[in-house]
Amino acid sequence: MQCEEWVFDGKGWVPKSGKGNRQIRSCRDLDVFNLSYTLAMEIFRLSARFPKDERYALTDQIRRSSRAVCSNIAEGFAKRRHEAVFKNSLSNSLGEAEETKVWLDFARDCGYLSAQDHRRLTIGYDQVSAMRWTLMTRWETFS
């Protein structure tokens, strides 16, 4: 099952297909999951251009942390009937998003990532954090 793709409109990230109401059957129906997946794929694409000597340092770290954002959301959603476990997974996702933003800072400051790409991705992770907060505070809706 493919995730819904999101695009940057100059101010923020929006679903490529437009926003619509849908029944939530899996984590892939959550906007926060789809946006974090889109951002991880964008990081994968951009990090492919990083120097080879960064393969086991910056490239590996930024890819791992960006993927962990959505994988923690998926794990939390699967365990959503257990509030503490669910919220812990979302908290872990927040930590991974913040780690990813630090790696984005390093990539920009090392000259591997343009200021524009850095801004787009940072805005995206800020959006993911806000969406994750909404999910965490309204978790009963999704059970």
Model confidence pLDDT, tens digit, residues 79-93:
888 888 988 999 999
pLDDT at 2: 67
* Residue 72 domain boundaries: 28-142
SS3 state at 7: strand
Contact 125, 99 (CB under 8 A): no
**49 located within any domain:** yes
pTM beyond 0.95: no
pLDDT at 44: 97
**9 located within any domain:** no
**2 located within any domain:** no
- Number of domains comprising the chain: 1
pLDDT at 133: 87
Contact 100, 75 (CB under 8 A): no
User: Domain holding 65: CATH number?
Assistant: 1.20.1440.60
d(C-alpha 80, C-alpha 134), whole Å: 14
d(C-alpha 57, C-alpha 59), whole Å: 6
- The per-residue pLDDT of the chain, averaged, comes to 90
**105 located within any domain:** yes
The band of 21, judged by pLDDT with boundaries at 50, 70 and 90, is low
Arithmetic mean of pLDDT, 108-114: 97
What does the CA dihedral 29, 127, 54, 75 come to, rounded to 10 degrees?
Answer: -40
Token pair 């890819």 in the structure block, residue: 63
**56 located within any domain:** yes
**117 located within any domain:** yes
